[in-house]
A and B are shown apart, each in its own frame.
Chain A
């Protein structure tokens, strides 16, 4: 609760600053100058919002990039050393962890919160309670508890400077006060840690892994081990940010280094989010593998004796990247699809967003039955998903690679708070996924491509959005959505659609330039929603407050329709309009455009006439409706809102146009399919009788 209160204060201050700044803009030139001036002022005054090339603003303190060790990409706040041993008989891990925490908060710190994510896999935890309420990640709301999914993490020792603090651990529930939830604890040190100083935590812990559920666990001899060690919270916006593990939330952590030693049977093939430093075989049939990783904020690993390793490499602007693919039995046919998708996505990101700085990326293909481990991102490693019968026309393997690799940027490097700003990682990633998938595989065929049926990635995003367009704003904390479906529809689908629509306002190239700039500014940092939106405004030199207020912070639905469109003959008394030649037939055409939804957005309207002429109108959409009247010889042929189909946020496109000449081809096609289906179902039933 303390964290929340602090957060709110900081948030309201900075948002009012920004809104005030942008509200005073006048003309375009003045606005541009003001933007530059105000951006400069913000650089000096705002906290955690903008960084200049020479400065890194971390948790409220400006730190010179040169103060970091040579070659460091991030401000390394944490250094984890973990020595873990996997027991494959009872699916458990025993480990020693040393965490060196560098206090860059700018103030003394005495109380530290830690995540114990694995404790969420217990019947009365907050995560399971939320699953029972709403369902999540493919688990239905009515799913009962199955004890094979029980897991835990137990801290047996916690020492700081030789003082045993295990007895001082206190479970806290900052989000819901559910005392049965043990996913966060805090400990108060005997002495505060001075600003700039470091503190070393020594922990011994024991993990009991679940059968794969919520991204982590085992299935037969496959292990996907994520969120498995005590992880310290993040000092963010002048408070500790350490949320409980929720059904609809992911993670948030500080950058640093990881030195992890894994001891496990020698037959295990291991993939990990780090560079392999050494492997030592032991006489007892086990081996110890040491991994090192830096400028990341998490460490996960996988092991299975059944993996087949497929390797490739790709060279981008930041140098070569080794691609490791760990394929499960029966899935080898998808290996080349994974690699092609990975290389295509790497190239797309390298061109449009920025360089991928790590030397490797590991793709884990979970075996059948372990689908719950699939489709999850960790720094430099992610899990994909396929099936032995996956048709080529279904681009699920390509899409999951594209999406999860995208998280290397939106989560991995641009490390936003996934608890509070899920849209900044999942949503932005979905937008870029739609752009890159459509670019790589065709706009209408990037997800499903058969001669008889197609669907594109950006359309799929829009479909998610239109399923629940008005329940929650993008900025809702991830576990506070009305339902799991709303979390998915809004966080992924609506964000992507909001950003696709934004392209109409600022242009596609400018939008991509803004994404590039946002990445460069905030990689290896923890930006906020305001940072993202401000970057777009700065790059586009436009005041987008009106749009962001509705699309990002609001729940207004955008829906325009052609209310009425028709042509009438002019009456005899209107001869002054009929012109010099009274024998000429003149018609008056009425087109009424209606804003059905509350979302105000400027739209183009194109009115076409039977003689081939047309008129293009631009309506700001502020009123509820507008009527256009034309006196012409030709009759109306059609009236269409947003003819280029750029306003992707429009809830339905079917009412955006009215064509006078009826075209029954679509309905005939659909009706034929429905008739055939109905006839065939009747035959099936008759066969049984």
Chain B
């Protein structure tokens, strides 16, 4: 069944996020706290070198890349490699989000204030289902990886034979956008599978994925547009924030920079929740439409065979 685009879904999704904004703030706080832990070691080491040194001046009054590089190369207190800590805490955050997804979607799908217990029940109830979905998603990324590798070799080939540098680079940009779009479609597909799993308490994830694929195939334009425009908005706000941060804010305004970057993060998280809310809303509308406009007319079941009279009287 194809569901006609519902312009209200976009705004109503935002309304859902606003109504249940406690979710947004909790995610933001968890993200911030984990980031603080992830960067604590680096900050302590840098603090040791910076806080009582005149040499921190170029970092205060501007952003001198040399000072940063020199700081990283400190013989006594070199900055620890940020990679492992940031990666570890990011994985923790990703697992947390996977866990919370059930509760978040239940809140959006049923649009009712859950108790804390109910929220976490929903989280726990769907966690392993969503974990299985992550495995499916990773499998789905394999062809994407193959596609990226093929495009990489095509890029190298174009780069080798074309006299113009634009051909290969524009191909790279185009193919990157296409791969990004395909990744978004994949994400949308798995998002819808999660919504189905929550809304219908579907236990078999392959069935949820099949249904989500069918829904996506029949409503591809409207669903993708719903998802894409929120993404675009998020990127625009993110870009605008970066521009303000890098070009407009005084290098001395640390507080303003902190508030701005955290605001960007809040909007980024809100945009993702907005997508989830819109997907949930869309599915609710779809379910409602399925009830009022059944996709098929059930064949009336045959009249029950008359019980043999003789049997009846015996």
Q: Is A bound to B? A: yes
Binding site for B on A (CB under 8 A): 220-221, 306, 329-331, 367-369, 387-389, 444, 448, 450-456, 459-460, 462-463, 466-467, 559, 638, 640, 643, 651-660, 662-672, 674-689
**Would you call B53 and A655 a contact (CB within 8 A)?**
yes
**Would you call B73 and A669 a contact (CB within 8 A)?**
no
Cβ distance B218 to chain A, nearest Cβ, rounded Å = 25
Cα distance A683–B73 in the bound complex, in angstroms: 29
19 A/B residue pairs, CB under 8 Å, sorted by A? A369-B160, A387-B165, A451-B246, A455-B65, A462-B66, A462-B70, A656-B55, A658-B53, A659-B53, A664-B47, A664-B51, A666-B60, A667-B46, A670-B59, A671-B42, A675-B39, A685-B90, A686-B90, A687-B272
Taking CB atoms, residues of chain B closer than 8 Å to A367 are 163, 165
**Would you call A453 and B65 a contact (CB within 8 A)?**
yes
For residue B91, CB closer than 8 A to chain A, the reply is yes
Cβ distance A678 to chain B, nearest Cβ, rounded Å = 4
**Would you call B90 and A669 a contact (CB within 8 A)?**
no
Taking CB atoms, residues of chain B closer than 8 Å to A655 are 49, 53, 76
**Listed residue (B43, B95, B262) with the most chain A CB atoms within 10 angstroms of its CB:** B43
**Would you call B261 and A454 a contact (CB within 8 A)?**
no
**Would you call B94 and A689 a contact (CB within 8 A)?**
yes
**Would you call A678 and B90 a contact (CB within 8 A)?**
yes
For residue B257, CB closer than 8 A to chain A, the reply is yes
**Would you call B56 and A456 a contact (CB within 8 A)?**
no
Known contacts A466-B73, A667-B43, A676-B265: does B165 contact A388 (CB below 8 Å)? yes
**Would you call B71 and A329 a contact (CB within 8 A)?**
no
Cα distance A388–B164 in the bound complex, in angstroms: 10
Cα distance A653–B54 in the bound complex, in angstroms: 9
Cα distance A14–B293 in the bound complex, in angstroms: 102
**Would you call B47 and A667 a contact (CB within 8 A)?**
yes
For residue B224, CB closer than 8 A to chain A, the reply is no
For residue B252, CB closer than 8 A to chain A, the reply is yes
**Listed residue (A367, A462, A680) with the most chain B CB atoms within 10 angstroms of its CB:** A680
What residue of chain B has the Cβ atom nearest to residue A458's Cβ?
A: B66
**Would you call A682 and B93 a contact (CB within 8 A)?**
yes
Taking CB atoms, residues of chain B closer than 8 Å to A659 are 52-54
Partner of B35, one of A463, A664, A682: A682
B204-238 vs A, CB cutoff 8 Å, 1 = contact: the mask equals 00000000000000000000000000000000000
Taking CB atoms, residues of chain B closer than 8 Å to A675 are 32, 35-36, 39, 261
Cα distance A448–B67 in the bound complex, in angstroms: 13
Size of B's binding interface in residues, CB under 8 A: 74
What residue of chain A has the Cβ atom nearest to residue B159's Cβ?
A: A369
Taking CB atoms, residues of chain B closer than 8 Å to A674 are 35, 39, 42-43, 82
What residue of chain A has the Cβ atom nearest to residue B34's Cβ?
A: A682
For residue B69, CB closer than 8 A to chain A, the reply is yes
**Would you call A669 and B257 a contact (CB within 8 A)?**
yes
For residue B107, CB closer than 8 A to chain A, the reply is no
Enumerate B25-75 residues with CB–CB distance to A below 8 Å. 31-32, 34-36, 38-39, 42-43, 46-47, 49-60, 62-66, 68-71, 73-75
For residue B98, CB closer than 8 A to chain A, the reply is yes
Taking CB atoms, residues of chain A closer than 8 Å to B268 are 680, 683
Taking CB atoms, residues of chain A closer than 8 Å to B71 are 654
Cα distance A665–B59 in the bound complex, in angstroms: 8
Cβ distance B162 to chain A, nearest Cβ, rounded Å = 8
Known contacts A653-B55, A658-B52: does B43 contact A679 (CB below 8 Å)? no
**Would you call A220 and B161 a contact (CB within 8 A)?**
yes
What residue of chain A has the Cβ atom nearest to residue B86's Cβ?
A: A678
**Listed residue (A467, A671, A687) with the most chain B CB atoms within 10 angstroms of its CB:** A671
Cβ distance A680 to chain B, nearest Cβ, rounded Å = 7
Taking CB atoms, residues of chain B closer than 8 Å to A689 are 94-95, 97-98, 134, 137
Cβ distance B198 to chain A, nearest Cβ, rounded Å = 16
**Would you call A682 and B89 a contact (CB within 8 A)?**
yes
Known contacts A463-B70, A681-B86: does B54 contact A388 (CB below 8 Å)? no
Given contacts A330-B164, A368-B159, A682-B89, 18 further A-B contacts (CB under 8 A): A220-B160, A455-B66, A456-B66, A651-B75, A653-B55, A655-B53, A657-B52, A665-B56, A667-B43, A669-B257, A670-B43, A674-B82, A675-B261, A676-B265, A679-B31, A682-B31, A687-B272, A689-B134
Partner of A329, one of B82, B86, B164, B258: B164
Enumerate B145-180 residues with CB–CB distance to A below 8 Å. 159-161, 163-166, 168-169
Known contacts A654-B71, A657-B55, A679-B265: does B247 contact A451 (CB below 8 Å)? yes
Question: Using a Cβ cutoff of 8 Å, how many contacts connect chains A and B?
Answer: 210
What residue of chain A has the Cβ atom nearest to residue B166's Cβ?
A: A330
**Would you call B89 and A455 a contact (CB within 8 A)?**
no
For residue B132, CB closer than 8 A to chain A, the reply is no
Cβ distance B87 to chain A, nearest Cβ, rounded Å = 8
Cβ distance B211 to chain A, nearest Cβ, rounded Å = 21
Cβ distance B253 to chain A, nearest Cβ, rounded Å = 10
Cβ distance A376 to chain B, nearest Cβ, rounded Å = 20
Known contacts A653-B70, A689-B134: does B272 contact A683 (CB below 8 Å)? yes
**Would you call A467 and B54 a contact (CB within 8 A)?**
no
Known contacts A389-B169, A654-B74, A655-B53: does B64 contact A679 (CB below 8 Å)? no
**Would you call A454 and B63 a contact (CB within 8 A)?**
yes
**Would you call B272 and A660 a contact (CB within 8 A)?**
no
Cα distance A656–B54 in the bound complex, in angstroms: 8
Taking CB atoms, residues of chain A closer than 8 Å to B59 are 666, 669-670
What residue of chain A has the Cβ atom nearest to residue B35's Cβ?
A: A678
Give 9 nearest A-B pairs by CB, closest first. A368-B165, A459-B66, A452-B246, A666-B56, A678-B35, A682-B93, A686-B97, A657-B54, A674-B39
Known contacts A454-B63, A653-B70: does B94 contact A686 (CB below 8 Å)? yes
Enumerate B236-281 residues with CB–CB distance to A below 8 Å. 245-247, 251-252, 254, 257-258, 261-262, 264-265, 268-269, 272
**Would you call B94 and A670 a contact (CB within 8 A)?**
no
Cα distance A559–B272 in the bound complex, in angstroms: 50
Taking CB atoms, residues of chain A closer than 8 Å to B257 are 669, 672
For residue B113, CB closer than 8 A to chain A, the reply is no
Cβ distance A144 to chain B, nearest Cβ, rounded Å = 16
What residue of chain B has the Cβ atom nearest to residue A453's Cβ?
A: B63
For residue B187, CB closer than 8 A to chain A, the reply is yes
Taking CB atoms, residues of chain A closer than 8 Å to B251 are 669
Cβ distance B86 to chain A, nearest Cβ, rounded Å = 5
Cα distance A688–B144 in the bound complex, in angstroms: 13
**Would you call B64 and A455 a contact (CB within 8 A)?**
yes
What residue of chain A has the Cβ atom nearest to residue B64's Cβ?
A: A454
Partner of A452, one of B42, B43, B63, B97: B63
**Would you call B51 and A662 a contact (CB within 8 A)?**
yes
Taking CB atoms, residues of chain A closer than 8 Å to B43 are 667, 670-671, 674
Partner of A460, one of B54, B66, B86: B66
Cβ distance A525 to chain B, nearest Cβ, rounded Å = 36
Cα distance A574–B159 in the bound complex, in angstroms: 80
Cα distance A456–B89 in the bound complex, in angstroms: 35
Cα distance A387–B269 in the bound complex, in angstroms: 36
**Would you call B63 and A663 a contact (CB within 8 A)?**
no
**Would you call B35 and A220 a contact (CB within 8 A)?**
no
Cα distance A323–B237 in the bound complex, in angstroms: 46
**Would you call A654 and B56 a contact (CB within 8 A)?**
yes
**Would you call A559 and B56 a contact (CB within 8 A)?**
no
Taking CB atoms, residues of chain B closer than 8 Å to A669 are 59-60, 63, 251, 254, 257
Taking CB atoms, residues of chain B closer than 8 Å to A463 are 66, 69-70, 73
Cα distance A656–B53 in the bound complex, in angstroms: 7
Cα distance A330–B65 in the bound complex, in angstroms: 30
Cβ distance B258 to chain A, nearest Cβ, rounded Å = 5
**Listed residue (A221, A453, A666) with the most chain B CB atoms within 10 angstroms of its CB:** A666
Cα distance A306–B269 in the bound complex, in angstroms: 50
Taking CB atoms, residues of chain B closer than 8 Å to A670 are 43, 46, 50, 59, 68
Cβ distance B101 to chain A, nearest Cβ, rounded Å = 8
**Would you call A683 and B246 a contact (CB within 8 A)?**
no
Cα distance A444–B67 in the bound complex, in angstroms: 11
Partner of B258, one of A369, A664, A672: A672
What residue of chain A has the Cβ atom nearest to residue B65's Cβ?
A: A455
Partner of A678, one of B89, B95, B98: B89
